[in-house]
Structure 1
Amino acid sequence: MTTPVGQRRRIRPLTAALSGAAGTLGITIALLATGTLSVAQGRIGQGAEELGDPDYGVCRGTDARCYHGWGNFDTSKGYKVLLYTRTAGPRHANLGPALTPGMNPPLTDANTVQKGLLKMGSDNGFQVDYTEDAGQLASPATLFKYNAVIFYSTSRDALDDAAQTSLRQYIRGGGGFVGVHNAFGTEYNWPWYEGLLGNANFYDHGANQPGTVHTVNRKDTSTKKLPPTWSISDEWYNLVPAPTKVRVLAKVDESTLAKGVTGNYNHPGHGNNHPVAWCQYYDGGRAWLTTLGHDAKDFTTDGSFPGAAEFQKLLLGGIESAMGKAPFCK
């Protein structure tokens, strides 16, 4: 049974009547079941507390029946995406200076992400509009002009009420969403958006450092051109909550992180299953997500930055599948 929106499951406290060996075993089993204790890498330690309803009152997961193919997108004139990079908090350097209001305002050489996506679209047959003006997202009619909406390192409360409503209507009408890097540090107080990210949110990260990425699923559009393993430098995001009911596409091998995985707020990492890319159907739409994408050098094409070529293949495939140009979440 689906839990109604806004309702949360309650965990009844263990009674004091439990005692002795049987009581201890019962307590341990109950705590593991509720997430109060976690088992990772062969150890038992204090884990996450109750994090709420993981279903967010919507159909989500890897079942394509969650998708609403209601005919809202005309591809006869090609494909088009909207890139949104508004920051209401920390701003990643690869976004460059904040953009002026409106659609497609002037860019500087420091606006690496925007220029990188424009080139990616030009090279691969889809149009890219870009903005940091929440007013441009205020109408579902406007968003339905785009086959996918990309949030790239947005931060904090990047949407107003009108834009929130519009995004939700767009996704429910079969829209595509691509969330990159600090899209996970956005709209913390909006549960529906957390669900859109796959039941995931940024908590902290360790040092910016090289790591080895394992391509978990090489059948997906976004991963089929990737090698089984590849290296890249990034901020390796630790997540609370961590994604569930999604198809994990790639993960980082924490043992390759020479400076450790523990975050600046003491998150201990995710052990053998530290995802960095995944996909899901959500509330009628498609959502493709990656925590990678920190460095401006991710968009280099001269081979000077290890992992840049692989990151671009991953992102391109994610965009093409989210907008319906290629098979999604296989």
Structure 2
Amino acid sequence: MTSRLRMRPLHAALTSAATTVGITVALVATGTLSVAQGRVGQGAQNLGDPDYGVCRGVDARCYHDWGNFDTTKGFKVLLYTRTAGPRHANLGPALASGLNPPLTDANVVQNAVRKLGTDNGFQVDYTEDVSQLASPATLFKYNAVIFYSTSRDTLDDAAQTSLRQYVRGGGGFVGVHNAFGTEYNWPWYEGLLGNANFYDHGPEQSGTVETVDRKDVSTKSLPSRWTFSDEWYNLVPAPTDVRVLANVDESTLAKGVTGNYNHPGHGENHPVAWCQYYDGGRAWLTTLGHDAKDFSTDGSFAGAAEFQKLLLGGIESAMGKSPFCK
């Protein structure tokens, strides 16, 4: 009996030590505890996120400045508008293969983003050919990649790998409108969107956008409240650990916020634009951008000028031409 009693403290100590080691290993494996956070030098300083296994959020230490972009040569973006499901009318007819195929007047988004570039000193290439995204070396020619109302499984395996390596190497990503209805079954992409996905939307209608963060490059020239019309996406999941830049005031939506699949809306905090660092890169996101009239310049569509300023600022910050997510 005495020997058994003497063994109990030793057994308890060993059990406690084993439990501690097990918890530590689990935390490291999930990224909740990173053994690299104390490293000194140019390597990644923060490697873990329990949701997507990457560093993400508003901490600039998540960014990988690994020398993949020479800004002395100017700035250049790739606009990707391929759809493998519903196609928004403002994209116009599907594009021919290759890079920079002929456009029609109905290709409103492609023409408008090209003009944004021409007017603001950066080059815009555009494509709906997934093979143009097949190599990280190709994507590293661009300071940012823009997904504008892409839909469903618009990337193949090679393009998925390429996009991930591009972002990890410090690339910029801009996701607009139905970029949130893309690659639903790829968790890494959901994380790139800020832990967000499109679920449904109510009727297209006028509402009031609230600029909740006016320090960011993309919002600093916007009024605190401005009128705009959109589909006002409801999101599942909704973004977390991001810098929310703008919300829609749901009380101004006269036709209600309940979506066609009965999402009840987001209440007082219904985000429509945000930014984050993600897995080494920069990601700027907005659910706005449904209507072709968003790019009108004659004052006939309320909020068009504000939307264009918002989008331009997002593109310029994601590609490093302006400070990002400050």
Whether these two folds match at TM > 0.5 is yes
Tell me how far apart the structure 2 counterparts of residues 281 and 171 of structure 1 sit (CA, whole Å). Answer: 10
Instruction: Report the equivalent of 1:222.
Output: 218
Pair 1:285 & 2:284 matched: no
Q: Deviations over 1:90-131 (max 9, x none)?
A: 000000000000000000000000000000000000000000
| Alignment check: 8 A CA contact 2:30 2:50 kept | no
Pair 1:160 & 2:186 matched: no
Pair 1:117 & 2:113 matched: yes
Query: What's the secondary structure of 1:316's corresponding residue?
Result: helix
Pair 1:182 & 2:208 matched: no
Instruction: Report the equivalent of 1:31.
Output: none
Query: What's the secondary structure of 2:73's corresponding residue?
Result: coil
Instruction: Report the equivalent of 1:42.
Output: none
Q: Tell me the CA shift for residue 4 of structure 1.
A: 3.4
Query: Cα–Cα, structure 1 residues 70 and 279, in superposed 2: closer, same or farther, change >3 Å?
Result: same
Instruction: Report the equivalent of 1:4.
Output: 30
Larger Rg: 2
Instruction: Report the equivalent of 1:75.
Output: 71
Instruction: Report the equivalent of 1:101.
Output: 97
Tell me how far apart the structure 2 counterparts of residues 128 and 157 of structure 1 sit (CA, whole Å). Answer: 24
- Give TM-score, length-normalised by structure 1: 0.85
Tell me how far apart the structure 1 counterparts of residues 75 and 91 of structure 2 sit (CA, whole Å). Answer: 24
Query: What's the secondary structure of 1:87's corresponding residue?
Result: coil
Q: Choose between structure 1 and 2: higher helix proportion.
A: 2
Instruction: Report the equivalent of 2:43.
Output: none
Instruction: Report the equivalent of 2:7.
Output: none
Q: Deviations over 1:271-294 (max 9, x none)?
A: 000000000000000000000000
User: Taking every aligned residue pair, what percent have the same amino acid on both sides?
Assistant: 86
Pair 1:318 & 2:314 matched: yes
Q: Deviations over 1:62-92 (max 9, x none)?
A: 0000000001001112100000000000000
Q: Deviations over 1:125-184 (max 9, x none)?
A: 000000000000000000000000000000000000000000000000000000000000
Query: What's the secondary structure of 1:166's corresponding residue?
Result: helix
| Larger mean Cα displacement after TM superposition, 71-80 or 87-96 | 71-80
| Alignment check: 8 A CA contact 1:198 1:244 kept | yes
Residue type of the partner of 2:130? Answer: A
Query: What's the secondary structure of 2:306's corresponding residue?
Result: helix
| Alignment check: 8 A CA contact 2:294 2:307 kept | yes
1:202-281 matches, within 5 Å, as: 202-281=198-277
Tell me how far apart the structure 2 counterparts of residues 75 and 59 of structure 1 sit (CA, whole Å). Answer: 25
Residue type of the partner of 2:309? Answer: K
Residue type of the partner of 2:57? Answer: G
Match of 1:294 among 284, 287, 290: 290
Query: What's the secondary structure of 2:277's corresponding residue?
Result: strand
Match of 2:86 among 87, 90, 95: 90
Q: Tell me the CA shift for residue 54 of structure 1.
A: 6.1
| Alignment check: 8 A CA contact 1:182 1:291 kept | yes
| Alignment check: 8 A CA contact 1:2 1:57 kept | no
Tell me how far apart the structure 2 counterparts of residues 4 and 135 of structure 1 sit (CA, whole Å). Answer: 33
Q: Deviations over 1:8-30 (max 9, x none)?
A: xxxxxxxxxxxxxxxxxxxxxxx
Query: Cα–Cα, structure 1 residues 3 and 155, in superposed 2: closer, same or farther, change >3 Å?
Result: farther
Tell me how far apart the structure 1 counterparts of residues 299 and 63 of structure 2 sit (CA, whole Å). Answer: 38
Tell me how far apart the structure 2 counterparts of residues 55 and 216 of structure 1 sit (CA, whole Å). Answer: 26
1:119-134 matches, within 5 Å, as: 119-134=115-130
Q: Tell me the CA shift for residue 55 of structure 1.
A: 2.5
Tell me how far apart the structure 1 counterparts of residues 92 and 216 of structure 2 sit (CA, whole Å). Answer: 31
- Give TM-score, length-normalised by structure 2: 0.86
Residue type of the partner of 2:290? Answer: H
1:11-26 matches, within 5 Å, as: none
Taking only aligned residues, the RMSD between alpha carbons, in angstroms, comes to 1.0
Query: Cα–Cα, structure 1 residues 214 and 105, in superposed 2: closer, same or farther, change >3 Å?
Result: same
* Paired residue total: 283
Query: Cα–Cα, structure 1 residues 2 and 303, in superposed 2: closer, same or farther, change >3 Å?
Result: farther
